[in-house]
Amino acid sequence: MPKRLAYFGPAGTHTEQACITYDRAAARIPFATIPLVAAAVDTGQADEGMVPIENSVGGSVSATLDLLIHDSTLFIRRELVLPIKHFLLARRGAEVRNIKVIFSHPQALEQCQGYLAEHFAQAEPIASMSTAAAVEEMLKRGGGAAAIGTERASTLYDTEILARGIEDHPNNMTRFVVLAPKDSPRTGDDKTSICFSFDDDAPGILHSVLEEFAKRGINLTKIESRPTREELGRYIFLADLEGHREDTIVREALDRVRVQVSLLKVYGSYPRHRDPL
Amino acid sequence: MPKRLAYFGPAGTHTEQACITYDRAAARIPFATIPLVAAAVDTGQADEGMVPIENSVGGSVSATLDLLIHDSTLFIRRELVLPIKHFLLARRGAEVRNIKVIFSHPQALEQCQGYLAEHFAQAEPIASMSTAAAVEEMLKRGGGAAAIGTERASTLYDTEILARGIEDHPNNMTRFVVLAPKDSPRTGDDKTSICFSFDDDAPGILHSVLEEFAKRGINLTKIESRPTREELGRYIFLADLEGHREDTIVREALDRVRVQVSLLKVYGSYPRHRDPL
C-alpha cells in the first residue's frame, strides 16, 4: 500500500511539489491548514504529513513552529529544501499586454514586487487565500487576469505560462519537514531539532545552554527565539543542531540542558538535507 | 510644525493606531509597503517611520527585519507594544445571520480561525491585501458581507461592529518600532538592537559572542536567527539586549563582539517599552 501523505494544500502549491519530490508514489491528501495536517497524522488518517517550516526570504512559518511548540507530539522525520520559483500564469491564449489584474497570496505578490513594478505597473494586485486559489480565480476572471503560482499549478490547471522565475530574490528556498509518529534512525549525517525555555530570564541562561553544545563541538545550524503566546518579551528558543539524538555527545549535551531549563522538547533527528550532486 | 510620521498604511490598520498612541499630534503619512516607509524617512519626506516588527502570535515581520539587515541605515528610535484586537465589522444595519462572506488579510483570518469556525462556519473567507482594504471591499459588497478589521477602521469607515476581540489568542500583541535618522539618548531603562553574522560556521562562535554579554550581566531580551537571502543554513543573528549602547558595559561587550564577527550592525538604543500603570 502506498504511503498516505497529508500535506498543506491545495494541490498545485509548493508543498505539493515537496511531496512529489519526497515520495512520488505516496497517496497525497491535501488539508486546508497546517494544524489539520498534524491532526490527520495524529488520528492515523495519514502516515506522515508535509509542512513548510522556513523560507529564505519570508523567514519561519509561524503556524508550523507553533504546532511543534504547543500542539503536537509528532516528530520531525525528514527535512527537504526546495527552490521556490514563482510563475506568472494566465488562461490559454491570454496576452501579456491585456493583463489588468494579478491574483496571488499577499506573500507571493510581495516576493514578486520588483518584477510586477517593472513589467505590470498598471495591473491591480488582488489577494487570494493561496497561490492555487489565485489560479482558480484567475481562470474564472478570464483573459485580462494573471496569477502568480507554481509550475505544478500550470500543469494541473492547464494554463499559459507568461513568465518563469519572477521572484525578486534568486535564492528563494523553502525548507519543508515531514511530521510522523517516529523520527529517523541514525545515518551518520543527521540533524536534531529541539525547543527549550526558562522560567527565569536571568542573564546568561541561554549562554549556559549553548555552552553545553559548544564545548562538545556540536554546531547549531539554527537558533530562533519566539515570543510565547502569553507575553511579548518571554521567549521559547528553537534550535537545530548537527548530530543525531542517539549520538553519545548529543545525548550528553541534551541531558545537561534538560536540568537547566523549565521545558525541553526534542522534535526528533533526521538525515540532513544535502543537495543531490 | 508637527512631526511628519510615515507609516505602513493604509489608515485604519493597527500600525496607524500605533502612530496615534505614539504621537497624536503628528502628521501621519501612509505608505503601501514597509520599504517605502523607510525610503520616506531616508529622503526627508518624513521625520520618522512607524513599522511593525514582531507579533506574539505570528512572530517576526520579515519585511521589517530584512529592511534593517540589508536595506537601511536608519536607527530604531523607539519601541511600542500594543494589544491587537480584531473586530468583526459590517455595513450599518447588517445582521449577523445574513453574513455569507468575510473579508480580511489571510493572517487576520487565520488569527480568528477558531471564532469563525464557531460562529460563521458557513461563511466564505475572502482574502484582502490589508485589513483596511477588507473593510472597503466589505462595504462595496453590501449587507451579506463582514470584514475583520480594527476598531479604528470602524470609526474611519463608519461601520457596524458585529463583534469585538474575536482573535483566538487573548494575548495577541504587536511590537512596533519607530525608524529615524538618529536613535534615542540614554534614559537608564533602555534596550539596544543589533544584528551580527559570521563567515565561518564553526561550533561555538555564537556561544562566544553571547558570552561577551553573559559575563557582563547583560540580559538578551530576544535572539533570532534569520536565513541570509543567499542560502538556507547560513544565518544572520538579531538580538535585543538590555542597556544603552553608550552604557560602559554595553559598549565594551559590543567592542569585543565586533572583533569576532564578520558583520555587526547596531540598530540603535531606545527607551524600553513599559506598560503605563
Pick from B61-65, B84-88, B91-95, B147-151: least confident: B61-65
CA B235, B237, B242: angle at the middle one, nearest 5?
A: 175
Indicate the residue type of B41.
V
Task: For chain A, give the mean pLDDT.
Answer: 91
Residue of B22, B2, B20, B3 whose CA lies nearest to B11: B20
pLDDT at B213: 92
Burial of B122 (0-12, 13-18, 19+ CB in 10 A): exposed
Grid cell, residue B263, equals: 558583520
Grid cell, residue A118, equals: 517593472
pLDDT at B25 over 70: yes
For B104, the 3-state DSSP assignment is strand
A8 is catalytic: no
Phi/psi for A206 (5° steps) reads -60, -45
Question: Between A92 and A203, where is the model more confident?
Answer: A92
Which residues have C-beta within 8 Å of that of residue A186, sequence separation ≥ 6? A244, A246, A247, A269
How does DSSP assign A165-230, residue by residue?
Answer: ---SSTT-EEEEEEEESS-----SSEEEEEEEE-S---TTHHHHHHHHHHTTTPPEEEEEEEE-SS
- Which residue of A82, A232, A241 is the best one to mutate when testing the B interface, meaning the one whose CB has the most B CBs within 10 A? A232
B173-180 and B48-55 as β-strands: parallel, antiparallel, unpaired?
antiparallel
CATH superfamily of B4-83+172-180: Periplasmic binding protein-like II (3.40.190.10)
Per-residue pLDDT band for B229 (boundaries 50, 70, 90) equals: low
Q: Write out pLDDT tens, residues B168-210.
A: 887 888 999 999 999 999 999 999 999 998 876 655 678 888 8
pLDDT at B276: 60
Question: Between B122 and B207, where is the model more confident?
Answer: B122
Residue of A9, A128, A130 whose CA lies nearest to B103: A128
Grid cell, residue B201, equals: 560556521
Residues A174, A196, A213, A237: which is the catalytic one? A174
What counts of helices (H) and strands (E) characterise chain A?
A: 9, 15
- When CB atoms are compared, the residue of B169, B207, B230 closest to A207 is B207
Cα separation, B3 vs B233, whole angstroms? 42
In chain A, residues 31-70 whose CB comes closer than 8 Å to chain B: 33, 54-60, 62-63, 65-66
pLDDT at B166: 96
For residues A40-65, give the mean pLDDT: 90
Cα separation, A22 vs A16, whole angstroms? 10
pLDDT at A71: 82
Residue of A113, A114, A152 whose CA lies nearest to A131: A152
Grid cell, residue B69, equals: 539587515
pLDDT at A52 over 70: yes
CA B224, A37, A167: angle at the middle one, nearest 5?
A: 55
Which chain B residues touch A105 with a CB distance below 8 Å?
Answer: 106, 127
Chain-chain contact of A230 with B33 (C-beta, under 8 angstroms)? no
pLDDT at A229: 66
pLDDT at A94: 93
Q: Which helix (H) or strand (E) holds A37?
A: helix A34-42
Q: How far is CA B56 from CA A168, B53, B171, B236, in A?
A: 28, 10, 7, 21
Per-residue pLDDT band for B70 (boundaries 50, 70, 90) equals: confident
The predicted complex's ipTM stands at 0.71
Task: For chain B, give the mean pLDDT.
Answer: 91
For residues A249-267, give the mean pLDDT: 95
B203 touches chain A (CB under 8 A): yes
User: Please, what CATH class does the domain formed by B87-164 belong to?
Assistant: alpha beta
A189 touches chain B (CB under 8 A): no
* Shortest Cα distance, chain B CAs vs residue A70, angstroms: 12
Burial of B24 (0-12, 13-18, 19+ CB in 10 A): exposed
Residue of A219, A119, A1, A172 whose CA lies nearest to B203: A219
User: Could you check whether B87-164 and B190-271 share the same CATH topology?
Assistant: no
A190-197 and A145-149 as β-strands: parallel, antiparallel, unpaired?
unpaired
Which residues have C-beta within 8 Å of that of residue B68, sequence separation ≥ 6? B74, B76, B193, B195, B238, B265, B267
Cα separation, B50 vs B74, whole angstroms? 12
Helical H segments across A48-189, by residue range: 62-66, 106-111, 113-119, 131-141, 151-156
Grid cell, residue A183, equals: 523520527
Which chain B residues touch A171 with a CB distance below 8 Å?
Answer: 229-231
Per-residue pLDDT band for A277 (boundaries 50, 70, 90) equals: very low
In chain B, residues 255-274 whose CB comes closer than 8 Å to chain A: none
Location of C-alpha cell 500500500: A1
* Chain CA centroid to CA B261, Å: 27
Give B264's strand partners: B196
* Shortest Cα distance, chain A CAs vs residue B49, angstroms: 20
Per domain, the residue ranges of chain B are 4-83+172-180, 87-164, 190-271
Q: pTM value?
A: 0.82
In chain B, residues 145-184 whose CB comes closer than 8 Å to chain A: 169, 171, 173, 175
Per-residue pLDDT band for B277 (boundaries 50, 70, 90) equals: very low
pLDDT at B18 over 80: yes
Per-residue pLDDT band for A169 (boundaries 50, 70, 90) equals: confident
pLDDT at A200 over 70: no
pLDDT at A128: 92
* Shortest Cα distance, chain A CAs vs residue B201, angstroms: 8
Q: Write out pLDDT tens, residues A124-148.
A: 999 998 899 999 999 999 889 999 9
pLDDT at A230: 66
CATH value of B190-271 in 2.60.40.1180, 3.40.50.300, 3.30.70.260, 3.40.50.720: 3.30.70.260
pLDDT at A78 over 90: yes
pLDDT at A242 over 90: yes
Neighbouring C-beta atoms of residue A86, cutoff 10 Å: 24
The 10 Å CB-count burial string (b at 16+, else e) for B46-73 is bbbbbbbbbbbbbbbbbbbbbbbbeebe
Pick from A80-94, A107-121, A203-217: least confident: A203-217
Neighbouring C-beta atoms of residue A165, cutoff 10 Å: 15
Chain-chain contact of B175 with A33 (C-beta, under 8 angstroms)? no
